[in-house]
Amino acid sequence: MEWNIAVLGSVGSGKTTAIRAISDIDVVDTDVAATDAATLQRKATTTVAMDMGVMELGNGDKLRLHGAPGQDRFDFMWEILLEQARGAVVCVDHSHAERLQSLAAYLDAIAAAKAGQDFPIVIAVTHAEQDTRRSLQPYYDFLRQRRACPCSACTPAVMWCDARSARDVTAVMVVMTALLESFQTLPESALHARFAQWQKRVHTP
């Protein structure tokens, strides 16, 4: 079994680094020298098409990892990669002041591309090493405000991830693989529908 995974996130959030940390092949990248001021403040190069790596899972199974460019002007590539993807990892730069707005933009892009489909998402929170009081609670609160449903499609898994660490990135991909397998046997749309029915019963006088 092979699954295409889209790796999304803002400029400098760690997409290319994460793919390089775990790929079992030499990563194919399209990094070029950054030219705009906003990008140069964060990194010297930027992805303009996509990065591609492969994570072998054993028994012939593998994840094909496709990293999307982070700049908004290349957002058409998000749509192209999501069209073929079976799941998405969204890298969120915890050090960025507008991290939740950035997360919302990527979740909206996924929702638009995969409307009505069972599509697993894992949120990898990066660049948190300097935050000694770090907490994932604000991310879960944000997700609950967007959608009240607790199913994995509406409230994705959120994990700390040092994109340089093969162990951290592997943990993210293990969760993604588990979701892909569980979605095959128990579609999240069924769980979502059951929760909606339960809510309706609870709130009906």
Residues listed for the chain: 205
What is this structure's pTM?
Answer: 0.81
- The CB density around residue 17, as the number of other CB atoms within 10 Å, is 20
pLDDT at position 72 is 64
- The CB density around residue 66, as the number of other CB atoms within 10 Å, is 25
Residue 144 identity (one-letter amino acid): R
Place of tokens 């769980």: 191
pLDDT at position 21 is 96
- Which residues are registered as beta bridge partners of 51? 67
> pLDDT averaged over consecutive 10-residue blocks of the chain (205 residues)?
93 92 86 47 52 91 90 72 94 95 93 88 94 92 84 86 97 95 80 68 57
Give the pLDDT confidence of 23-59 residue by residue, as tens digits.
Answer: 999 887 765 444 454 544 554 445 445 789 999 998 8
Are 8 and 109 within 8 A, CB to CB?
A: yes
Domains of the chain: 2-203 (3.40.50.300)
Q: Quick one: tokens of 154?
A: 């509406």
Q: Quick one: tokens of 51?
A: 């990065």
H or E segment and range at residue 35: none
3-class SS letters over 109-144: HHHHHCCCCCCCEEEEEECCCCCCCCCCHHHHHHHH
